[in-house]
Amino acid sequence: MKRSEVNSIITGVEKFFAKHQFMLPEWASWSPEAWKGTYDKCFEIIDNKLGWDITDFGNGNFKKQGLSLFTIRNGNYDKKDKMYCEKIMVADEEQETPLHFHWNKTEDIINRGGGNLAMELYMATSDDKLSKEPVNVSIDGVVLTVKAGVPLILKPGQSICLKPRVYHRFYGEKGKGLVLIGEVSLVNDDANDNRFYDKIGRFPEIIEDVKPVHLLVNDYAKYQ
């Protein structure tokens, strides 16, 4: 992805957050220069990858397959300091987050507002393929059985609990607009806990055609 595209996406997401009165920490709006030499006081943010995360999953078409994320809080399995994570995300209509499961993480995915969130689910087989068996899930504490791969629609205010080894892909429902998506989960570990069904690039390579407006989580090291 080009840095200019990333900058434009972040600017749009900030406006969407403001529209829904979802406020971010003060450091979310820091300039790159403001991050220089901050590790001693900001190590939790930097080490646990809090902040902006814009990805096209390596396919080069963000509008088709992509996600805008901001990790608000996250812990560390090794340090055993915080064993939880919270994110806020934005998905456009038919903008896919590809099929994946987590080895360890249980998570609640919440439609915080905007459009409807479509989610397709599969249980993983013992060899990590897609099972055709129905999936039992909890929607706001109510157990529901859904057919494998059939879109489940989460309206604003609804949430779903996803346990480890439940494959899921999600996207904004066509015709309903951008979706504000929350996540509350166990510690997030993108390096070790994600199992994508197809090979993807979780973090994009950035072409630096302009200067960053805000840093992404993988940019922090360059400014320390």
With helix as H, strand as E and coil as C, how does 161-185 read? EECCCEEEEEEECCCCCCEEEEEEE
CA pseudo-torsion sign 213, 218, 221, 224: positive
* Mean pLDDT over each residue of the chain, to the nearest integer: 97
Architecture of domain 3-223: Sandwich (2.60)
pLDDT in tens, 130-154: 999 999 999 999 999 999 999 999 9
pLDDT in tens, 7-30: 999 999 999 999 999 999 999 999
Output the six-digit token pair for 165: 């080894």
Domain ranges of the chain: 3-223
Give the predicted TM-score (pTM) of the model: 0.96
